[in-house]
Structures are given as structure tokens and as C-alpha cells.
Amino acid sequence: MKRTFFVDFDGTITKRDTSEAMVAAFAGEGWQQINELWEKREISTEECANRTFKLFRATLDDLRNLLDTIEIDEGFGSFVNYCKKNSHPVYILSDGYDFCIEYILKKYGFKLPYFANKLVYEKEFRISCTYYNQECGLCGTCKRSLMERLTVPGSQTVYVGDGISDTCPAGYSNLVFAKGKLLEYCLAEGIPALPIASFVDVLEKLS
Ligand SMILES: [Mg+2]
Ligand SMILES: [Zn+2]
């Protein structure tokens, strides 16, 4: 069966969410309240990020040092090889930042197409949302509309994710592998999802 794989980055490919790590390391008082509004989907990713960045005290070098501490999922390499061997395209869809994805993929030697928000740094950080979808109005990078655009016609769509920004595309996927908040959401909404702890489980369930 032909499949198109869509994979979240933060907390799914990486063990720790890089946006959460950035906020914990660099943001001053007040970010929790902003984040709560975002988790309830009351403010958009763009608004959440730009308000949070106002509280940041950090440079790009600080960010690189932080990213050096981020590890990736132990099964991800085997998963990528499996997809290559079977000619299943893999796309990374992220409501995080291009800078972080680029840095970490390079460090671990992966070359994969990804779609994410742009991290702009001019004395301070700013977000730029190239893949915003007006119909959705919340995601910075709307994974749902990217999925519609990127799915190979006639193929089964498979989504792998862990968080709030994955709830938007989950209901539109043929098959969902989920952990964390995405799994909770799927259970609550009655969206069929296979629970995973890592890509080791994804591979096991695929074969
Ligand atoms: Mg995530
Ligand atoms: Zn969306």
C-alpha cells in the first residue's frame, strides 16, 4: 500500500519540544499565562509566539547551545530507512521553527523536507508564519492544509504526533500514531489513534 507520512517535529522526532525548551530557558515571567491561552486555542501560534518573544533574553548563540542539548527519538533513524526502502514520502510538519529543525536535522545527518514557521532574529526574536491557513486561523503552520497539498494522490495518509498543533490534521488522516496531548485529544474526540511511546512502536505496528 502506498503511504504518505506526515510527522511532527517537536516532542515527536525530538525527545524534548524545542519551543518549550526555549521558553523555559529564555523567557521571563508571564509566559505561562500566554501559553495557557494557546493550549486552549484561544490565541493563535503567531500571537502566542510574538507575545512570548517579548519576554525573551537570548541571542542566536544561546539558542544554538540549547539545541545542542536536544536529543532525537531512538527509533527515528530506522523509521526513515523503512520509509525510504518502501518509497513512502516523509514530510515534517511543524508549528515550531525552521531554525531549530534545520539545526537538529543537520546535526543528526537527516535530509528531509519540512514545513515550519520562520524564526526571524533581528536583535530580538520574531515569528513569521509562511504556511498560515486563513480557514484555520490558529496554527502558525497549518498542518491540515499542508497535508491536503502534499498527499500523493491515492495514497494513505499517516500522521505521527504528540501535541496541540497535531489536533488540527489528526481528524483528516487515514491513520494516526499518537502520544501525549494528541493521544488525549484523539481519545476524547473519538478519533481512532494508535498509541506510541516512540518510533520504535510505529515501526513495530507498521510491520
Ligand atoms: Mg510536538
Ligand atoms: Zn490549522
E strands, the chain, in order: 3-7, 90-97, 114-122, 124-128, 156-161, 175-178, 194-195
Per-residue pLDDT tens listing for the chain (207 residues): 899 999 999 999 999 999 999 999 999 999 999 999 999 999 999 999 999 999 999 999 999 999 999 999 999 999 999 999 999 999 999 999 999 999 999 999 999 999 999 999 998 999 999 999 999 999 999 999 999 999 999 999 999 999 999 999 999 999 999 999 999 999 999 999 999 999 999 999 998
Q: Locate 153 and state its grid cell.
A: 494522490
Q: What pLDDT, on the 0 to 100 scale, is given for residue 207?
A: 84
Distance (Å) from CA 107 to ligand 2 centroid:
29
Q: 3-15+72-206 sits in which CATH class?
A: alpha beta
The pTM for the full model equals 0.95
Amino acid 29: pLDDT: 94
Quote the distance between the C-alpha of residue 31 and its chain's center.
20
Q: Where do the structural domains in the chain lie, given as residue ranges?
A: 3-15+72-206
Q: What CA–CA distances, in Å, run from 197 to 152, 178, 194, 200?
A: 27, 8, 10, 8
How far is the centre of ligand 1, averaged over its atoms, from the C-alpha of 16 (Å)? Answer: 9
**Looking at residue 4, what is its pLDDT?**
97
Q: Which ligand is nearest to the CA of 44?
A: 2
Q: Counting ligands in written order, which one lies closest to the CA of residue 14? A: 1
State the Cα–Cα distance between residues 157 and 2, nearest whole angstrom: 9
CA of 205 to the centre of ligand 1 (A): 20
Nearest ligand by distance to the CA of 136: 2
For the CA of 10, the nearest ligand:
1
179 C-alpha to center of ligand 1: Å? Answer: 9
Question: Could you give the 3-state DSSP secondary structure of residue 130?
Answer: coil
* Closest of 175, 177, 3 to residue 90, by C-alpha: 3
Round to whole Å and give the CA distance between 60 and 40: 29
